[in-house]
């Protein structure tokens, strides 16, 4: 038999004259269906990660806003600590004056949970509680608890805590 020539038996059985399957052999419907199933399961697994990823981005964004707010407030307190002339008025008052950049924050409540829009031109709200106290006659500390205010709170339980110490230089 000549090489490359097909006989009737070989054509019926899909075998060429060298013993290999003929080029007309392909994937069966079952093989294609299984491949589509495997790809579908993989895509489903990948798409199921998107909601949790978006939720993580939202939570991280809220944590960043809380951190920026705390940095603004605590650095304002530390920066103004040299100009405090009467610590008791400041500590016992309902607000702490912060001479910060306009439209950011000018005063902050102390002792109770309060809400404010931060940044001022944004539409995000924060809940916070500022506690001012003394460690000794010249060393004072500030504890700022902040949480994202976009969701109703069943209490002040998901807060981020920020702490700083500063020296009272007043008379």
Work out the angle at residue 155's Cα, subtended by the Cα atoms of residues 151 and 158, and round it to the nearest 5 degrees.
Answer: 65
> pLDDT tens for residues 9-25?
555 555 555 555 555 56
Tokens of 6: 């097909």
For residues 83 and 158, give the distance between their C-alpha atoms in angstroms, rounded to a whole number: 34
- Condensed to tens digits (0 to 9), the pLDDT of residues 139-170 reads 788 888 888 877 666 566 677 899 988 876 65
Task: Please report the pLDDT score of residue 103 as a whole number.
Answer: 47
Distance CA 145, CA 127 (A): 8
Per-residue pLDDT of 122-135, as tens digits, reads 778 888 888 877 77
What tens digit of pLDDT does each residue of 25-76 get?
Answer: 678 999 999 999 999 999 999 999 999 999 899 888 888 988 988 898 888 8
| Residue 144 vs residue 80, higher pLDDT | 144
Summarize pLDDT for 83-119 with one digit per residue, the tens. Answer: 766 666 566 655 666 655 544 555 666 677 777 777 7
Secondary structure (H, E, C), the chain:
CCCCCCCHHHHHHCECCCCCECCCCCCCHHHHHHHHHHHHHHHHHHHCHHHHHHHHHHHHHHHHHHHHHHHHHHHHHHHHHHHCCCHHHHHHCCEEECCCCCCCCCEEECCCCEEEECCCCCCCEEEEEEEEEECCCCEEEEEEEEEECCCCCCCCCCCEEEEEEEECCCC
Per-residue tokens: 74? 């605590």
Could you identify the residue written with the tokens 């993989």? 42
């Amino acid at each position: 038999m000549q090489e490359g020539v097909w006989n009737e038996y070989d054509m019926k059985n899909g075998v060429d004259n060298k013993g290999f399957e003929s080029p007309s052999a392909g994937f069966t419907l079952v093989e294609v269906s299984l491949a589509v199933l495997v790809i579908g399961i993989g895509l489903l697994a990948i798409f199921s990660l998107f909601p949790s990823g978006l939720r993580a981005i939202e939570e991280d964004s809220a944590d960043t806003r809380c951190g920026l707010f705390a940095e603004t407030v605590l650095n304002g307190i530390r920066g103004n600590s040299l100009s405090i002339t009467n610590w008791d008025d400041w500590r016992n008052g309902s607000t702490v004056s912060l001479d910060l950049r306009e439209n950011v924050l000018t005063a902050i409540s102390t002792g109770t949970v309060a809400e404010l829009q931060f940044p001022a031109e944004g539409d995000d709200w924060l809940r916070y509680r500022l506690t001012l106290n003394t460690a000794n006659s010249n060393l004072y500390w500030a504890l700022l608890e902040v949480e994202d205010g976009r969701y109703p709170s069943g209490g002040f339980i998901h807060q981020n805590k920020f702490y700083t110490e500063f020296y009272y230089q007043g008379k």
